[in-house]
Structure 1
Amino acid sequence: MQEFNSKLSDFGLAKAGPTGDRTHVSTQVMGTQGYAAPEYVATGRLTAKSDVYSFGVVMLELLSGRRAVDKTIAGVDQNLVDWAKPYLGDKRRLFRIMDSKLEGQYPQKGAFMAATLALQCLNREAKARPAMIDVLATLEQIEAPKQAPRISLSEHQRLHAPVRRSPARNRTPSNVTPTASPLPSVRQSPRAR
């Protein structure tokens, strides 16, 4: 991550395979250690839910500030998912996995929502993981405070589109001759308007 711009690679493994609810079975498991879904490692079967698992690992990395696999740490704590999973669903203990560089300066409700989402993505049962569209919806809820009204992308684009004026609107109609005002031009103060 550079200036909080994430740089991801080795994702979208499921895109290379079949579409829809179909799966792909590989004879050689590929991918970066720590990101591959358990069912993919065990069977070579790749689905869209495999990518959801991998995304859960990335979320966990963002929350904790640790890598998916840290070989400098001994034992079970080496694997980020195994180390963090017991804390993800517990509001009182979540701070134990949060990146210490944040020094506690983060919205606790948002952190817990993100941790809960990561936990759902990391479910050992692929069918129990959310669809990526649901992951996106949850991330948008975390990002936008409840007080702010939610608008659709098309509505946002409509509201923020540049105003285009037709040249015809700014012209005087051809059958009307502009006349000078009989009154002298007086600049009104903002209160007089």
Structure 2
Amino acid sequence: MDQYVVFGNPIGHSKSPLIHRLFAEQTGQDLEYATLLAPLDEFSDCARGFFKQGSGGNVTVPFKEEAYRLCDSLTARAQRAGAVNTLSKLADGTLQGDNTDGAGLVRDLTVNAGVELAGKRILILGAGGAVRGVLEPILAHKPQSLVIANRTVEKAEQLAREFDEPGAGGGQRVCLVAGAGGCDHQCHLGEPGRGNAADCR
């Protein structure tokens, strides 16, 4: 039986095992999916230990950027994001990293919630690995502006520099702000207790 996990710390709140069990039942796959609490300073060792037998895994806070550095190969979107939320063991035993955060969030907003992102002012709260994965897919929909607000200003500044590009009107598209006013949509991407992964309004 193929074994899969979701790595995180904390991780007990995760609904991923339930979701993947239902997926497996619907698609007729024989697999086991569990949570794996990785020590904060031992993610790489923990992941390597699991992949001696495991087939793949998901990665959540706070390990997405560390997972990026662990991989032997990366998909194009993971390379652009600089963070990984999906690990796959290839046939040769190497690890490939992908980032599905942005594609998933944008699909949920545009298809399931019917939100049009083009021309909108968007505020993202946080500047961690999850945010790195969603910036480019959101910017591809050409919002008027995208504002990053974060407790650690330096991390937000770094992301703004990496992903900033001119908007449709020639102005700055990615910027920093201390408050959250004047935006059409607000998304918090981060830890439990600090908002849900898609706490958008």
Bin for the TM-score computed over the shorter chain: under 0.3
Structure-2-length-normalised TM-score: 0.23
The higher radius of gyration belongs to: 1
With normalisation by structure 1, the TM-score equals 0.24
Give the number of the structure whose residues are more often strand, by fraction: 2
